[in-house]
Structure 1
Amino acid sequence: MGEVDPAFIQALEHQPKLDITEAEGIPLIDLSPLNSSDTDADFSSLVAEIGDACKNWGFFQVINHGVPSRCREKIEVVARKFFALSKEEKKKVGRDEVNPLGYYDTEHTKNVRDWKEVFDLTVKKPTIIPSSHESDDKELIQLMNRWPEDLPELREACEDYAEEMDHASFLRLNRYPPCPAPHLVLGVGRHKDPIALTILAQDEVGGLEVKRKTDGEWILVKPTPNAYIINVGDIIQVWSNDKYESVEHRVMVNSEKERFSIPFFLNPANSTWVEPLEELINKQNPAKYKPYNWGEFLANRAHSNFEKLDVENIQISHFRI
C-alpha cells in the first residue's frame, strides 16, 4: 500500500472496515403506479411504503422512476470525459470562496479531506444566495455555472439531465479515484445531507454506506441497475419535527476501481425559513427546532466545505430547542 497525505486520514474510530456488510432491508420501491394512465389510481399504498421507508431507514431505492436511461447514460459518459481532462483544464472551471460552483478536489467533511473530485452546478440560472451566514449582512451574490471550453457536451448533458429530474436545485458529478489506503480514508466522511432530499445515481462499483438506525452498523447499499437512491435530508427532518430522520452515510473507496456518482440535491428557495410544519405541532408534540434561514445556512456550509476549519460546520442540531 502506498502512503496518503495525512489530511485524508480518518480518526481511528471512523476508519472504514473492509469486511463489508451488504444492506438487507433497505426498501426497493416501484414507482410505476405514478406513470400509470389510470386517473383513478390509488396511490395510498405507495405513499405508505415511502413513509415507512423514510421513518425506518431514511434511505430507499426506486425503480421505474420515469427518467429515461439514455439521459442518465449520456451524463455518465460525459462526466467520465470531464474528469479525464488534465488537472490544469479542470481548474480553469474551479470553484473559489466566492462562487462554490465548478470543479474542486479539496472538500472536507467533519474537517477531514475527502478522497474525491467534484463538479457542482446549479439548475436555476442564476442562483442568488446571501454573501455570508451573518444575519445582518444583507449583501447577495449571484452564482453562475462554469463550463469547460473544450467539452461543450458537458453543459448539454447536464442541462438535459436536470430537465428530466424536474428542476431540482443542485447537481453534482462525483469521481472517487482508486486509493492506495482504502482502510484509512473515505471518499466522503460520515455526514447527513443538510438539504431536503437527495436523489443519487451511482455506478456499478458501489461504496455508499448507510448507518443503520437499529444498531449503528455501517451497511453497504448494493447498486441496483438503473435505480435511484433517495435519502431524507436535514430539512425534511426539521419540517417533520423528527418524524423522519436524516441518516448518517459515507462513501468507501477501493484500491483498484474508480467510482462515479451523480447526486441531485433538492433545496427550498434560499429565502425560506426552515421550521417544523404547523400542522405537525401541538401541545403533545411541540416544535423541536427554532426557525433558520436556508440561504444563510447554505452560505455557511459552502464556506466550511471549501477549507478546513477549527470548529464543526453548522448543523441543524444548533437550532434544536
Structure 2
Amino acid sequence: MGEVDPAFIQDVEHRPKLTNTESEGIPIIDLSILSSPEPDSDEFRRLVAEISDASEKWGFFQVINHGVPSETRQKIELAARQFFALPKEEKSKVRRDEVNPYGYYDTEHTKNVRDWKEVFDFSVESTFIPVSPEPDDEALKEMISQWPEYPPEMREVCEEYVHEVQKLSYKLLELISLSLGLPEKRLNGFFKDQTSFLRMNHYPPCPSPHLALGVGRHKDAGALTILAQDDVGGLEVKRKTDGEWVFVKPTPDAYIINVGDIIQVWSNDKYESVEHRVKVNSERERFSIPFFVNPAHYTWVQPLDEIVNEENPAKYKPYNWGKFFTTRKTSNYKKLGVENIQIYHFKTTKSSDE
C-alpha cells in the first residue's frame, strides 16, 4: 500500500464516525481503492476509518472488490463439494487425530455432539507447534497436511487459493494496523512463520435444526478469520449493543472478516473478538471456507507497546501463542478437567462477570 505520512496516522485518531447503523447488519467495505495505482488520500483515509468503525462496533465486516479472483474461489468451492460427496470410508483415509490435527473429521468423533458438520483442515506451508502445552516442554512437531486421492487436483487448487487469500490477509492486517494509529507494517512480522490454516466446512441438511447448531457460539482465538460462505447462509453474529443474534446475509463474492482474540489483546480491548455461531438448514446443505490467520508459534501475545500507557495500562498478561494453540487442540481429544483456555484467563484484572 506504500509509505504512509505520519500525519495520516495521527489523523486516524480523530476520524469521523460513520453512518452505518447497527440495524443495517455488519458493514460491507469496498477495498477497490487498494488496487488503484494512485489511491486518493481522502478515500484511503475513509477506508481506514471504516475498518476501525466496524472492528470497534461489530468485530465483523464484509469486504468486496478484495482482489481474490472469482475463478480461484470457484475452484476451491467445487473441490470442497467433490471431497465431501465422497463415501465416509474414503474421507476417513485422511482423518485427523491427536498427533496430527490436520485432515478430515466429523462431529461423530468429537465431544461437540451438538455441532452438525464435517470438516477438512489443511495448511500449504510447513507449520510447527509445540508438542505439549506444558510451559517447560520446548519440543516442536510439524503439522502435516493430508491430501485425499480425490479430487486429484485438490492440493493444487488449495495452494492457489491460499496464496490469494494470504495476500488479502496482509492487506487487512495493514489496514487494521493503520486504524490503530500504528505504522502500516507493524503487525506483519508476527506472521513470518505463521500457523495459519484453512478449513472446509460442510453442514448437511438437519432434520431437527432446533436441536443442533452447525457450530455452537464461540470466539476465534487467532488474529483474523477470512470466511467464504455460499448462498445458503447460516452465520449469526452477537451484536455488541444489545446481545441479539444477527444473521449475516450472504453477499455474492464477498468475504466475511472477523477480528480474533489476538487482535483484541494487541489493541488492548479497543477491538473485540465477538461471539458467533452457525445455524443449520433443514432442507439445504451449506458449505463455507474459513481461513484462520494465526501468527508464528513462538509469538508472545500481549497489548502492543505503542498502545499502552499510564492512562491505558495493559489489560492482559503475555501468553505464548503456540502453547495456547496446542492447549486448544488437545482439548478436542481429551477432557482436561478444566475450562478450555480463553484470553480472559490472562486478564490483569477480571471483571465481576468473569
> Fold match, TM over 0.5?
yes
Equivalent position of 1:93 in the other structure: 94
TM-score, length of structure 2 as denominator length? 0.81
Do 1:188 and 1:250's aligned partners in 2 also have CA atoms closer than 8 Å? yes
Specify the SS of the correspondent of 2:251: coil
1:307–1:184: structure 2 CA closer, same or farther, 3 Å change rule? farther
Shift of 1:151: 2.2
Do 1:110 and 1:189's aligned partners in 2 also have CA atoms closer than 8 Å? no
Which of residues 223, 230, 243 is equivalent to 1:196? 223
**Percent identity at matched positions?**
72
Specify the SS of the correspondent of 2:315: coil
Which residue identity does 1:32 align to in structure 2?
A: S
Equivalent position of 1:129 in the other structure: 129
Q: Which moved more, 1:302-311 or 1:99-108?
A: 302-311
Specify the SS of the correspondent of 1:136: coil
Do 1:23 and 1:219's aligned partners in 2 also have CA atoms closer than 8 Å? no
Specify the SS of the correspondent of 1:134: coil
Structure with larger RCO (C-alpha < 8 A, sep 6+): 1
After superposition, the CA RMSD in angstroms is 1.9
Do 1:75 and 1:161's aligned partners in 2 also have CA atoms closer than 8 Å? yes
Specify the SS of the correspondent of 1:129: strand
TM-score, length of structure 1 as denominator length? 0.89
* 1:320 equivalenced with 2:321 (yes/no): no
Deviations 1:247-283 (A, max 9, x none): 0000000111100000011111110000000011111
**What aligned pairs does 1:259-270 form with structure 2 within 5 A after superposition?**
259-270=286-297
Structure 1 unaligned regions, length at least 5: 1-21
Equivalent position of 2:211 in the other structure: 184
Do 2:114 and 2:211's aligned partners in 1 also have CA atoms closer than 8 Å? no
- 2:127 and 2:70 mapped to 1: Cα distance? 28
More helix by share: 2
Q: Which moved more, 1:278-287 or 1:307-316?
A: 307-316
- Which consecutive segments of 4 or more residues in structure 1 shift more than 6 A? 107-110
1:137–1:305: structure 2 CA closer, same or farther, 3 Å change rule? same
Equivalent position of 1:57 in the other structure: 58
- 1:219 and 1:107 mapped to 2: Cα distance? 29
Do 1:30 and 1:65's aligned partners in 2 also have CA atoms closer than 8 Å? yes
Which residue identity does 2:146 align to in structure 1?
A: R
Shift of 1:110: 9.0
1:89–1:110: structure 2 CA closer, same or farther, 3 Å change rule? closer
Structure 2 unaligned regions, length at least 5: 1-21, 170-195, 349-354
Shift of 1:288: 0.5
1:233–1:81: structure 2 CA closer, same or farther, 3 Å change rule? same
1:246–1:100: structure 2 CA closer, same or farther, 3 Å change rule? same
**What aligned pairs does 1:77-116 form with structure 2 within 5 A after superposition?**
77-106=78-107, 112-116=113-117
Shift of 1:95: 0.4
* 1:159 equivalenced with 2:159 (yes/no): yes
